Amino acid sequence: MQITTIGLDLAKNVFQVHAVAADGSVICNRSLRRSQLLAFFQRTPPCLVGMEACATSHHWARELTALGHDVHLIPPTYVKPYVKRGKSDAVDAEAICEAVTRPNMRFVQPKSREQQAVLCLHRARELIVRQRTQIINAIRSLLAEFGVTIRQGVPQIMSFAKSVTCDHANLPHLAQEVVSNLCHQLLSLEYRVRWYQRRIDRHSRSDERARRLLKIPGIGPVTASAIVATVGDASQFRNGRELAAWVGLTPLNRSSGGKELLGRITKMGDRYLRKLLIVGATSRLKSVKSGTDRQDAWVNMLMERKPFRLVSVAMASKTARIVWAVLAKKEEYRHQPA
């Protein structure tokens, strides 16, 4: 019998393969070492391969697609209902093999090497920014023990870090050495953040899709670059609401018995993109609230009867739908007053 469908459970070194024939009969359910995986698929005729969209899944999707297989990535949440009692690699591979054949299953589009390279920039920048925040909080807390306070904001703490080489009268000598060491580390992290920012700005200017996204209010170079690297051309979504739902900006539906009941946003999907869209919407909303931006009548109407945070999330959801229209239709953003 010929293999028609394979469920592949990914791992670091030991992979589980569950292969079935056209009639659903199991041909094999075995484990493979990392060095044996590609050789196995080279011997196997082209077939449907299902994998969970997890770490290294995009790499293996590209490798198996190059061998002629039809590879589909499935969100792990959608595989879980097909897992039978117990938990093992063999059971997971069988569940993946079953889930990939469902006609209404939703899949994740594999990312290219270029997309993942840009995402490396964003992941590394996010890590450095978190470390910078930790160092800033540590410096503030240590200085507070000696009655020294610094004004809020990154520029103020950076100004202090550059001048920390001078002796501070309120600090003992040992505390001065500790704070000075932390300040030097903070300046080094700030330099790295700016380096990543310049590389991201360069990508957002060089990519045609990112340049179109930059014209949308509330989207800057970081957000535009992240959207292009994560979403691509948005062809995997049928409409703007699907993209907003994928990012987790649509309300949770708890309707029952003919009564429509919508809750908070689902917070599903890509957390990094959701954060960037909400931060951009919040920044734009502050300018609207201060009176510097009064062009959007829809926002002004919403601000009169809804809380600030709810309006910012609604703006982020609307921005996600505009992003889909710009990417999917390959058109420039055109502002249409409400």
For residue 248, what are the domain limits?
208-329
| Residue 170 lies inside a defined structural domain of this protein | yes
- pTM exceeds 0.85, yes or no: yes
Of 99, 128, 146, at which residue does a domain stop?
99
Which among 304, 296, 290 has a CA at the least distance from the CA of 322? 296
| Residue 201 lies inside a defined structural domain of this protein | yes
| Residue 336 lies inside a defined structural domain of this protein | no
pLDDT value for 219: 94
Angle between helices 173-206 and 221-231 (to 10 degrees): 60
Which among 282, 307, 172 has a CA at the least distance from the CA of 223? 282
Place of tokens 């917070």: 267
Question: How many distinct structural domains can be found in the chain?
Answer: 3
Determine if residue 56 is left, alpha or beta; phi over 0 gives left, psi from -120 to 50 gives alpha, anything else beta.
left
CA-CA distance, 257 to 267, in Å (whole number)?
A: 25
Same domain, 190 and 255: no
Same domain, 223 and 320: yes
| Residue 105 lies inside a defined structural domain of this protein | no
Which among 33, 44, 38 has a CA at the least distance from the CA of 11? 33
| Residue 104 lies inside a defined structural domain of this protein | no
| Residue 229 lies inside a defined structural domain of this protein | yes
Tens digit of pLDDT for each residue in 227-274?
999 998 888 899 999 999 999 999 888 877 878 888 888 888 889 999
Of 74, 99, 124, at which residue does a domain stop?
99
Same domain, 221 and 297: yes
CA-CA distance, 204 to 213, in Å (whole number)?
A: 9
pLDDT value for 257: 80
CA-CA distance, 317 to 319, in Å (whole number)?
A: 5
**Tokens, residue 338:** 């409400």
Same domain, 192 and 222: no
Same domain, 170 and 279: no
Of 191, 206, 221, at which residue does a domain stop?
206
pLDDT value for 295: 61
Helix (H) or strand (E) holding 183: helix 173-206
* Residue 30, φ and ψ in degrees, nearest 5: -135, 165
pLDDT value for 207: 92
Name the stretches of the chain with pLDDT < 70: 164-169, 291-295, 336-338
**Amino acid at residue number 245:** A
- Are 138 and 186 in contact by the 8 Å Cβ rule? The answer is no
Which among 52, 16, 7, 19 has a CA at the least distance from the CA of 36? 16
